[in-house]
Structure 1
Amino acid sequence: MTLVVTVPTARLATNIGSLPDGVELHVWDFTTPPPASRLDIVVPPYMGATGSLSALQGLDVGLVQSQSIGYDGVAERLPDGMPFANAASVHETSTAELAVTLMLVAQRQFPRFVRAQDRGEWSPVFAESLADRRVLLVGFGGVGTGIARRLAPFEVEMTAVARSARVEQVDGVGEIVVHGIEELSALLPEAEIVVLSLPGGDATNHLFDSGVLGRMADGALLVNVGRGR
């Protein structure tokens, strides 16, 4: 029996490397006819994958394996009865790195320095450090805990908010009290940096509206690495 697998780019096929006997790998980006009518595992393109799922209509597909954590809009476009898996646990590390990078870049005013450098100006300024800042993590799943682990060495004061209140033991950080989302409004005014790592969906859509933003302290930094809406 041969297992037929498709990936959207030649680079991804190369990165997979050698495959065991019985696995047939094809590069298929959904813009050309499929390599077979029966596909055991299909990996859609990373960007814009949801909109291209109609290319699977009429095919016999064992599993659609997304490259993204989110699955917004998939149910509306995926052919009926076709199994789908998101890429939970794949992007947590890189997204957490991005969140910490954005905090450092903003606190240290890197954009200002880059613009001054482009103008050929020497423009020193006293920038804020990340150390000693009060950081509120809104969303405490895989990405939120990943951010907490990477923030720990920066000597910040961390508070977390999630859908449900709980106490979590995070490797490299220790015990973190996670507040319920109903406490968000009360916690916001004390935070100097607010980091969003929220999932998509109706529960989080427009969660940070003008009223919630208005509860933030003047001069506080908002970093959003969550899902689109």
Structure 2
Amino acid sequence: MLQVWNTESGAECSLNGPVGQVNALESVYNLLFAGVEDGVILAWKGTYETNITFQLAATLKGHTHGIISLVAGVVNRLYSGSKDHTIRVWDHENWQCIMTLNGHDDVVKSLMCWDKYLFSGSLDCTIKVWASTEDGSLEVIYTHSEEHGILALSGMTDPDVKPILYCSCSDKSIHLYELPTFTDRGRLFAKQEIQTLQIGPGGLFFTGDQTGLLTVYTWLAD
């Protein structure tokens, strides 16, 4: 079961439907997506005029193992990463899977859209950069290798407005890379694996690790 709150009114709504653990959430427009351990993606349509109400709109099936990551892209696209080592591309207007991306050899832990590219991070110790081809499919245009598995990806700009990729690895560190060259910009360290990264306003970014610690960082101007 999922719980949804209106942060202004405090109104609460319970969403039934998931069978098993919910590993990933994503929202776009009035849609809320949940990636579940049984390999299914559930989609709800919400209304917010008075009380919060959600209605189950679709059940997306295709993955053979649990969904671990979700991210919304442009042109009604939803991307899902799974324990079955694949990425699926969905059209959330007609609820169809339009593409299955193979290339990783382990769990796809994180997905990120940046500009016209899709980034995927996996426990196979690689980050793959995908781009559209002339026929509309996606292909890997670059693979970056790490010594440890990838747990989470996120990105923001530094004070010089240069795009920076944050990459959490299973060695309890976050690697910072300047895009598009993947130039090393340093590392951050934690006591346990950092499972989630989130970008905030005003140059802030947040990390959550397995000790239950939430840490807030900000860029310092040179």
TM range (shorter): under 0.3
* Larger proportion of strand: 2
* Larger proportion of helix: 1
TM-score, normalised relative to structure 1: 0.22
